[in-house]
Amino acid sequence: MEVNIEADSNHVTERPRHDKYKPYLCTVCNRPYMSRHDLNRHKQTHTGEKLYSCSQCEKCFATQPSLNEHMNVHSGKYKCTECGKCFQSNQKLTVHRRIHSGEKPFECTVCSKRFKTKGELDSHSRIHSGMKPYKCHECGKTFSHSGNLQTHMRIHTGDKPYKCSLCDKSFNRLDYLQIHDHREHSNRRPYDCCYCGKLFKTKGDLKRHVYTHTGAKPYSCRHCSERFTRHDQLKTHLLKSHNEGTWFTCHICEKKFTLNGILKAHLLRHEGVKPYVCCECTKCFYTAGALKQHRSVHSDFKPFCCGSCGKYFKCKQYVPVHFKRCADRTGFFDLMSCQ
């Protein structure tokens, strides 16, 4: 029988006495430890605290042993003879060498898929079992992988370690930074619409655009029959019509918003800050959308499209006026920015 010891405040559960090797159990992720000191040190991985910083690259770590392991990378103690890459420990170097050898010694008993490490196999096995052992102590959300929990914790801590090298924006996930860099700082548009030939930067942008041709509304409300083309539209509907979700309230005027991004843009108006500057005429705007619309003044670029006949316009407000006169309304589903 397990006896809880200050479980709510310290995340400690004392295990049965016959388990003499690791009697202390973390109540967040169920990981056992030999001493209370080891458990308390482990708890920092859940709180997001990183008190130990590297003097050479300024990376931060939750524990001193983690920092000590990281320093092996700079010293080159564990270096791959094939590619020259350095690692924190001999174990990680051994695992890395399997990339060159192609060795995958761990096999899933359910689907026979093979993996380089036991950890990868254990993570994969949770797909079959549905187990989610990692729990957020802030909101109670559970995860199947510890890395997913660590990424999720940045929502509560506000930590944004991934910073764009071309602008001042920071992100809490690496893939968000990559998407930002691709959308904002790249002119490549590799995805083209099979209906009208328009080009887009991401698959997601193309997918949302295709809805204007097909009329598809993949996001459905679980409370009523309403359907939507975008997830943010569904989220707004759930909040306004079914009171499901959280309102974001301005602390200055107490105005409420359905999305945190809209609130942030609203706060800029109170502060009088216009962070989006036109590179042609230095005119400033509160939102990126307003700047994009303004840019058409300096060129023949027409970013707004009628979903019915495909005609383009420089300004968004021209589109509904055009639609009232549009002869062919058969294919009309939505008005959207094609940039």
Report pLDDT digits (tens) over 46-71: 776 777 888 888 788 877 888 888 88
CA distance 15 to 252: 50
Question: Residue 270 domain-assigned?
Answer: yes
pLDDT of 302 reads: 66
pLDDT of 110 reads: 87
3-state secondary structure of 256: strand
- Token readout for 201 is 């930067």
For the residues 71-94, what does the mean pLDDT come to?
Answer: 88
Q: Which residue has the higher pLDDT, 337 or 150?
A: 150
pLDDT of 34 reads: 86
Regarding whether 274 and 287 lie in a shared domain, the answer is yes
Regarding whether 242 and 276 lie in a shared domain, the answer is yes
Q: Give the residue from 156, 186, 216 where a domain finishes.
A: 186
Regarding whether 286 and 208 lie in a shared domain, the answer is yes
Regarding whether 208 and 153 lie in a shared domain, the answer is no
pLDDT of 39 reads: 84
What rounded mean pLDDT belongs to the chain?
Answer: 78
pLDDT of 127 reads: 81
For the residues 73-80, what does the mean pLDDT come to?
Answer: 89
Q: 230: domain range?
A: 191-296+333-337
Confidence of residue 224 (pLDDT cuts 50, 70, 90): very high
Question: Residue 121 domain-assigned?
Answer: yes
- Token readout for 183 is 């959308």
pLDDT of 13 reads: 44
Which of the listed ranges 29-43, 188-202, 248-262 does the model predict with the highest average pLDDT? 248-262
Q: How many domains does the chain have?
A: 2
pLDDT of 198 reads: 80
Q: Is 300 a residue whose pLDDT tops 50?
A: yes
Confidence of residue 17 (pLDDT cuts 50, 70, 90): very low
Q: Give the residue from 161, 186, 211 where a domain finishes.
A: 186
- Token readout for 211 is 């809805």
Regarding whether 171 and 119 lie in a shared domain, the answer is yes
Paired residues of 87 in beta bridges:
78
Report pLDDT digits (tens) over 133-147: 888 888 888 888 888
pLDDT of 12 reads: 43
Q: Give the residue from 154, 186, 218 where a domain finishes.
A: 186
Regarding whether 199 and 174 lie in a shared domain, the answer is no
pLDDT of 146 reads: 80
Q: How many CB atoms lie within 10 A of CB 28?
A: 19
pLDDT of 51 reads: 74
Regarding whether 197 and 156 lie in a shared domain, the answer is no
pLDDT of 299 reads: 67
Regarding whether 291 and 231 lie in a shared domain, the answer is yes
Question: Residue 163 domain-assigned?
Answer: yes
Question: Residue 303 domain-assigned?
Answer: no
For the residues 179-200, what does the mean pLDDT come to?
Answer: 78
Q: Is 337 a residue whose pLDDT tops 70?
A: no
62: which DSSP letter? S
For the residues 209-215, what does the mean pLDDT come to?
Answer: 85
Q: Is 317 a residue whose pLDDT tops 70?
A: no
Is 308 buried (19+), middle (13-18) or exposed (0-12) by CB count in 10 A?
buried
pLDDT of 149 reads: 86
Regarding whether 199 and 136 lie in a shared domain, the answer is no
Regarding whether 274 and 238 lie in a shared domain, the answer is yes
For the residues 244-252, what does the mean pLDDT come to?
Answer: 87
pLDDT of 324 reads: 60
CA distance 100 to 90: 16
Which of the listed ranges 105-114, 162-171, 326-335 does the model predict with the highest average pLDDT? 105-114
Q: Is 271 a residue whose pLDDT tops 70?
A: yes
Paired residues of 163 in beta bridges:
170
CATH number of the domain residue 261 falls in: 3.30.160.60
Q: Is 120 a residue whose pLDDT tops 80?
A: yes
Instruction: Read off the pTM.
Output: 0.40
**Are 60 and 50 within 8 A, CB to CB?**
yes
